[in-house]
């Protein structure tokens, strides 16, 4: 029996993935499934550029805004949710269209997930910084408060293993010992994958990033951050580090002007998109056998889709 087809729609932030995902779902009868690690958070509709309620009403959308900012999402959690959403789509005669910019999410489907998923770089950097600042025994004490089961197996002075255990807990939301107990490897998801990778020119992408952030400010991004801060969450949580949150929080507290915050956000997102593009080209979607790279001009979503619709639709049709 032929495995069902799932379409992976990837690319850097502000490259037009959501609009393209919507067009593909309307053209082929699809369900758009979120594959972005920040768009899962309920409180961040504006700053993560989640589809609007009107867009969500046009075609089925899944895994958008389903997790509270107070709970860190892991790759393993997302994979389980995505597989359930994909199975539901196929059962309803819909094509799963996984749309987002988080490379590890795509990789967890195409190559499977080891018992211990890859740890986000932010979690690794936090563990190393705390190790340098506090020392291994103090970091071990923090680990013991969060993951006492793993901490009990480690010597407080074993700096490398303590830091590794801490980064796994921080990056995945589960303890190292819990992952090790499961063992094994999930293997690739049972689908045929075809992928569209958006790879726009850097200069145009920077323009799109700046224009999009200005639009976010006009749509109420400051109020969104203000409401998030009122929750009193741990600043190390992923949602609190989403692009725009630290900078606008600094503005709201008087530590930065709005123009300074805007410039920093645009710069940070631009640097992040460079890392995204490198990841997609060399890791998550590097197989030319099933990946079609779109060197897209970004002149607004409508023009972008009209100019490339025939090429994109023909590629998807060839896999059906």
The tens digit of pLDDT for each residue in 260-319 reads: 999 999 999 999 998 888 777 776 565 656 667 665 444 444 345 566 788 888 889 988
Tokens of 174: 């589960």
Give the span between the Cα atoms of 45 and 216, in whole angstroms: 10
Q: What is the dihedral of CA 59, 62, 65, 70, to 10 degrees?
A: 180
Confidence of residue 199 (pLDDT cuts 50, 70, 90): confident
Q: Is the pLDDT of residue 250 over 80?
A: yes
Give the span between the Cα atoms of 93 and 77, in whole angstroms: 25
- Per the listing, tokens 């997102």 go with 269
Give the span between the Cα atoms of 208 and 14, in whole angstroms: 6
Q: Whole-number mean pLDDT of the chain?
A: 88
Which pLDDT does position 69 carry in this prediction? 97
DSSP-assigned states of every residue in the chain: -PPPEEEEEE-STTSSHHHHHHHHHHHHTEEEEE--TTTTBTT-TTTTTPPPHHHHHHS-EESSS-B-TTS---HHHHHHHHHHHHHHHHHTT-EEEEEES-HHHHHHHHT--BSSPPPPHHHHHHHHHHHHHH-HHHHHHHHHHH-HHHHTTS-TT-HHHHHHHHHHHHHHSS-HHHHHHH-SB--S-SSEEEEEEE---HHHHHHHHHHHHHHHHHHTHHHHHHHHHTT---TTSGGGGSTTHHHHHHHHTTSS-HHHHHHHHHHHHHHHHHHHHHHIIIIIT--TTTEEEE----S-HHHHHHHHHHHHHHHHHHH-
Tokens of 277: 């593009």
Which pLDDT does position 163 carry in this prediction? 87
Q: Is the pLDDT of residue 204 over 80?
A: yes
Which pLDDT does position 232 carry in this prediction? 96
Give the span between the Cα atoms of 115 and 201, in whole angstroms: 37
Confidence of residue 2 (pLDDT cuts 50, 70, 90): confident
- Residue intervals in the chain for CATH 1.10.20.140: 121-182
Q: Strand order in 95-100's β-sheet?
A: 61-62, 30-34, 95-100, 5-10, 192-198, 291-294
Give the span between the Cα atoms of 22 and 9, in whole angstroms: 11
Confidence of residue 141 (pLDDT cuts 50, 70, 90): very high
Question: Taking the model in full, what pTM does it have?
Answer: 0.78
What is each CA distance from 108 to 27, 116, 210, 293, in whole angstroms? 27, 11, 31, 20
Q: Is the pLDDT of residue 186 over 80?
A: no
- Residue intervals in the chain for CATH 3.40.50.300: 5-113+187-210+275-319
State the angle between helix axes of 75-91 and 103-110 in degrees (0 to 180), rounded to the nearest 10.
60
Give the span between the Cα atoms of 119 and 116, in whole angstroms: 8
Determine which of 169-173, 219-223, 244-248 has the lowest per-residue pLDDT on average: 169-173
Query: Is 5 in contact with 192 (CB distance < 8 Å)?
Result: yes
Name the architecture of domain 121-182.
Answer: Orthogonal Bundle (1.10)
Give the span between the Cα atoms of 23 and 256, in whole angstroms: 39
- Average pLDDT of span 206-215: 93
Domain at 5-113+187-210+275-319, CATH from 1.10.101.10, 3.40.30.10, 3.40.50.300, 1.10.540.10 = 3.40.50.300
């Amino acid at each position: 029996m032929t495995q069902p087809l799932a379409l992976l729609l990837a690319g850097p932030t502000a490259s037009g993935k959501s609009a393209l995902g919507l067009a593909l779902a309307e053209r082929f009868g699809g369900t758009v499934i979120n594959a972005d690690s920040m768009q899962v958070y309920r409180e961040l509709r504006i700053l993560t550029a989640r589809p609007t309620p009107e867009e969500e009403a046009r075609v089925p959308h899944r895994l958008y805004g389903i997790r509270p900012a107070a709970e860190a999402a892991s790759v393993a959690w997302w994979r389980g949710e995505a597989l359930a959403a994909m199975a539901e789509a196929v059962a309803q005669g819909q094509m799963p269209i996984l749309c987002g910019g988080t490379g590890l999410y795509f990789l967890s489907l195409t190559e499977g997930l080891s018992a211990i998923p890859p740890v986000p770089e932010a979690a690794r950097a936090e563990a190393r910084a705390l190790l340098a600042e506090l020392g291994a025994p103090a970091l071990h004490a923090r680990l013991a408060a969060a993951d006492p089961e793993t901490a009990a197996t480690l010597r407080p002075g074993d700096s490398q293993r303590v830091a590794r255990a801490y980064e796994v807990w921080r990056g995945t939301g589960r303890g190292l010992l819990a992952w090790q107990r499961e063992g094994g490897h999930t293997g690739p998801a049972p689908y045929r994958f075809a992928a569209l990778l958006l790879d726009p020119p850097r200069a145009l992408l920077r323009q799109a990033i700046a224009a999009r952030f200005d639009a976010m400010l006009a749509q109420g991004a400051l109020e969104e951050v203000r409401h998030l801060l009122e929750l009193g969450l741990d600043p190390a949580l992923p949602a609190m580090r989403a692009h725009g949150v630290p900078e606008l929080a600094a503005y709201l507290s008087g530590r930065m002007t709005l123009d300074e915050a805007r410039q920093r956000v645009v710069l940070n997102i631009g640097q992040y998109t460079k890392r995204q593009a490198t990841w997609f080209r060399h890791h998550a979607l590097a197989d030319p056998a099933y990946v079609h790279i779109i060197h897209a001009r970004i002149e607004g979503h409508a023009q972008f889709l009209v100019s490339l619709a025939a090429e994109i639709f023909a590629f998807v049709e060839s896999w059906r």
